[in-house]
Structure 1
């Protein structure tokens, strides 16, 4: 009994313009699963997913500190985001191989359904630990929202049109980010923070329904079944080790933050144990990826040929983008004294510039030879934007603050799709689903470190700074007590004595500025890599794109 061979038209699906003869409705649907009158609904389903991804990222950024304060667990509030990111990061590469094996529609339906279930659980959570667990479940589905949208568009859109469709995708991500940033604090203030998650449930279910109805998989011909051997091609052991490795990193970073915030030396052994777990798991993961008989999460043939430089750039820009996104609300709420709603409004206008950057990139990418230049320009703007933040102070007007934040957002809008296509177009069409997932994996690992790592860095700097500044002002035990209270609830700053309050705010400002100095350094490294290898990127992309131009065109 033969197994279903999806590779008959390649691991992706046949084009809408296919003129091959068919033998019956089943074979016709197997070879041409997209019809022109379905394009609008398919893109609506995909763009619903990317809107949710942008909305969820900024609405969480604008309220996580508020949630931590409410539960009096501010030191682990960043886990509301990082728990999502670690599962999202770990499952993103799986969606590439899963969708090749099980089909795009099944994976889209699963991703949307799990995302909706997780959001519902978040809205019903009664404590921060349950909320963090539900965010982890949400991340399992969230890992497929943008990844699968990009994969499906790579299946059906020609190379020269991909930039335009990607710019539409970026506009929806940016629109979702603007809505999330501007409405998160308001929703939390008027209806409660739980509605920030509950409001996403019907949108996700709508996307799931549209994906199920309009995104079709090839239909098996008579006498064919899906062989169980296909499940053996999925690298489950690699995925488990990757999850353990990333989780170990995050727990280590969180415990380091707790050491700084609470001064509990008893956490040293625990933190070292989680670091060793992470190193061991990731080392074993790297070994298994080289030796596994399954389809590896990171195939060896996707590395080298300068693609490793693009992956490093993806990691660095992911770190810088998320450090920027999650540190700004902390700055506005702690240093500037804004409420969550005010901080959200400050982020709204700059966030709107991210899709503008994506639109610029999409229009410019009609000529794919411009990709190296676009990548350099985007990273340069991110570098400039993070430098501009260092000049923001209490006396800086709101409008000047908006202007100083704009370059980083435009740069991100250009850089994210530029890194994607710089990596994607190096490979043949049959490898692009896995290549997409691998690029997103490296970028998401950067995002995880951008949130968890910078949170720990701020806590360490605040702790050390206050121990020096408050010596002679407060007793040692009072300083330790203050640090513990700050780690649980930053809103207590408003009730501190003026002299202590000013020292606390100054310490937080120093910690946050240190994050941006680090971001500037990483942006500079990414810029150097992009300039160094621009010629190689262009050469490999030109050779690869030549074989992609026969894809469908709209």
Structure 2
């Protein structure tokens, strides 16, 4: 009498990400030793049954994967959109609250918490599971959005933006981490390309959407628009993204948190961003209000290095990552990439609105050609990486194009033709598109599986922290230049009004002083690009130190997986949190990692009848 094949359910295996509540994990192995003992006819019949179920389940898995992917894209769209949607609305917001001097904090508060919490959420997802960190992020983001829309004072708006930034950090970090769980490294380029295209699209479409709401409805809808879209993303991910809580009691998980490292990271990121926002605007650069936070930042970074290397059992930022040449080079590249990208997103609209007299909406429309190229570039870069497994040349070319574009922006004046403007910004769009996809893939391909979530968070952290620095430097350069040059060109009574509100230039300044004021504005904006161009050049130099490796050359899965953090992915199935042994395959073994519970019952009943 022949022995029938077994259908193990592996209910004890920890899962971090599965597909839906209607899908349970099932391994079907028709080529097992038990099947080998069957008669030839019976063996072929059993394999045929499993292969038929395999095809049906593969189709179901693909559909659910697409829905999860769309839910992730919706959530990412909101988090990225909120980073730039207020850029064209800031002049109106500042005027409405009569607080133009601190209106930049509406943008800075979001960027500050959005950036500071990136590495935290990435690490926490290893401890508490991906899904619930993602859900937490969406809920907090929506709460912050409601408070922003209802804000009755500038202080309330700034605090609400900080709350939304915390939620945005959870969303942003988890989207890129969950994609690593869903898709094998070698195929990840195409998916990351699409994800980064959505990020780029929302980031650069933010000024257009924000300007449209500001001009035709109210700036408050820049925040209320998040509610219906966020609710849809929340519903999709709650239903289709199933996350089994990692093993261990809650007390054990709480013990794994690097509390000291967490506090230090939040403290130094906050102090650094405060100094950047104060310098040259609220306080002089030489004042204690700027110097003290910068000194404390340096001290805390040094303290973090000691704590993480000597005392932390499970470091928030493992020191080994910074000893990896490729990781360090990409993080530095990302830093200067962020400086340039956010400077362009925030100060090109200022050029269009002040110098070219465009409305907030039209200042966003002017950026559409660049936006389209960013999206196409990100998608093509992802496809190229999936096809060739090469990422270094894309990073180098991307930084080169971005540096060239920023340098060309310094040629803009009151009479620059729009064909030239579109051409110069499109060059930058091409560089941005290449960088969005290639930098994340490069980081993930250079580390072990246990470090993928952390290094992904660090990549985002470095780029966004650089972006906050870029906005602060650009703002300081603009205000310093206006403060220095305007008094010699126009009566002193108008200087303070122009610095307090850029809208005053086109909607209040007497016509006889307009030409002189525009000349000063053009010079100030050129200084921004003069400062940004060499910084971008440093990023280009750093990109050349990335090791020339192909995706997959670093043994991410087979030999470096830990029992708790490994992610094994087959073509049409997902196992996250499984051990390396669980993902070994052979030519005569069929593995269906996520299968319908009914399918398991069908196989068992069929074999019993035989």
Aligned to 1:542: 553
SS in 1 for 2:187: helix
> Does the 8 Å contact 2:18/2:241 carry over to 1?
no
Q: CA shift at 1:552, angstroms?
A: 2.5
Equivalents in 1 of 2:300, 2:392: separation in Å? 35
Aligned to 2:480: 460
Alignment of 1:415-434 (within 5 A): 415-434=435-454
User: Compared with structure 1, are the counterparts of its residues 547 and 412 closer, same or farther at alpha carbon in structure 2 (3 Å cutoff)?
Assistant: farther
1:244 matched to 2:267: yes
Equivalents in 1 of 2:498, 2:257: separation in Å? 45
Deviations 1:37-64 (A, max 9, x none): 4212211211111221332233222212
1:435 matched to 2:485: no
Equivalents in 2 of 1:19, 1:517: separation in Å? 60
Aligned to 2:191: 165
> Does the 8 Å contact 1:289/1:297 carry over to 2?
yes
Aligned to 2:570: 552
Equivalents in 1 of 2:522, 2:214: separation in Å? 25
Equivalents in 1 of 2:189, 2:25: separation in Å? 20
Aligned to 2:278: 255
Computing the radius of gyration from Cα coordinates, the structure with the larger value is 2
Alignment of 1:120-139 (within 5 A): 120-139=146-165
Equivalents in 2 of 1:550, 1:241: separation in Å? 33
Q: CA shift at 1:545, angstroms?
A: 6.0
Return 387-396 or 267-276, whichever deviates more: 267-276
1:19 matched to 2:42: no
> Does the 8 Å contact 1:75/1:257 carry over to 2?
no
Q: CA shift at 1:186, angstroms?
A: 1.6
Deviations 1:54-100 (A, max 9, x none): 32233222212321233232232221111111101111111111111
Equivalents in 2 of 1:267, 1:178: separation in Å? 34
> Does the 8 Å contact 2:189/2:382 carry over to 1?
yes
Deviations 1:281-303 (A, max 9, x none): 33333332223425222111211
Aligned to 2:591: none
Equivalents in 1 of 2:12, 2:527: separation in Å? 50
User: Compared with structure 1, are the counterparts of its residues 547 and 354 closer, same or farther at alpha carbon in structure 2 (3 Å cutoff)?
Assistant: farther
1:318 matched to 2:346: no
Deviations 1:430-467 (A, max 9, x none): 22111111111111211111112221222112212234
Alignment of 1:225-374 (within 5 A): 226-258=249-281, 268-306=287-325, 307-374=327-394
Equivalents in 1 of 2:464, 2:297: separation in Å? 17
Equivalents in 1 of 2:266, 2:72: separation in Å? 26
> Does the 8 Å contact 1:297/1:438 carry over to 2?
no
Equivalents in 1 of 2:277, 2:456: separation in Å? 30
SS in 2 for 1:551: strand
Return 493-502 or 138-147, whichever deviates more: 493-502
> Does the 8 Å contact 2:193/2:379 carry over to 1?
yes
Aligned to 2:4: none
Equivalents in 1 of 2:255, 2:162: separation in Å? 26
Give ranges in structure 2 of 5+ residues lacking alignment: 1-10, 30-57, 560-566, 573-610
Return 64-73 or 303-312, whichever deviates more: 64-73
Q: CA shift at 1:278, angstroms?
A: 3.1
Deviations 1:88-127 (A, max 9, x none): 1111111111111111110110000011111111100012
Q: CA shift at 1:270, angstroms?
A: 2.8
1:517 matched to 2:530: yes
> Does the 8 Å contact 1:53/1:145 carry over to 2?
yes
User: Compared with structure 1, are the counterparts of its residues 522 and 465 closer, same or farther at alpha carbon in structure 2 (3 Å cutoff)?
Assistant: same
Q: CA shift at 1:502, angstroms?
A: 2.9
Give ranges in structure 1 of 5+ residues lacking alignment: 1-5, 22-31
Deviations 1:468-487 (A, max 9, x none): x34xx64xxx3xx5443233
Aligned to 1:28: none
SS in 1 for 2:87: helix
User: Compared with structure 1, are the counterparts of its residues 518 and 267 closer, same or farther at alpha carbon in structure 2 (3 Å cutoff)?
Assistant: closer
Equivalents in 2 of 1:446, 1:130: separation in Å? 26
Aligned to 1:485: 497
What is the TM-score with the length of structure 1 in the denominator? 0.86
User: Compared with structure 1, are the counterparts of its residues 460 and 8 closer, same or farther at alpha carbon in structure 2 (3 Å cutoff)?
Assistant: farther
Aligned to 2:464: 444
Alignment of 1:467-478 (within 5 A): 467=487, 469-470=488-489, 474=491, 478=492
User: Compared with structure 1, are the counterparts of its residues 157 and 265 closer, same or farther at alpha carbon in structure 2 (3 Å cutoff)?
Assistant: closer
Q: CA shift at 1:354, angstroms?
A: 1.1
Equivalents in 2 of 1:11, 1:210: separation in Å? 17
Q: Calculate the aligned-residue CA RMSD, in Å.
A: 2.9
Size of the aligned set, in residue pairs, is 521
Equivalents in 2 of 1:429, 1:255: separation in Å? 40
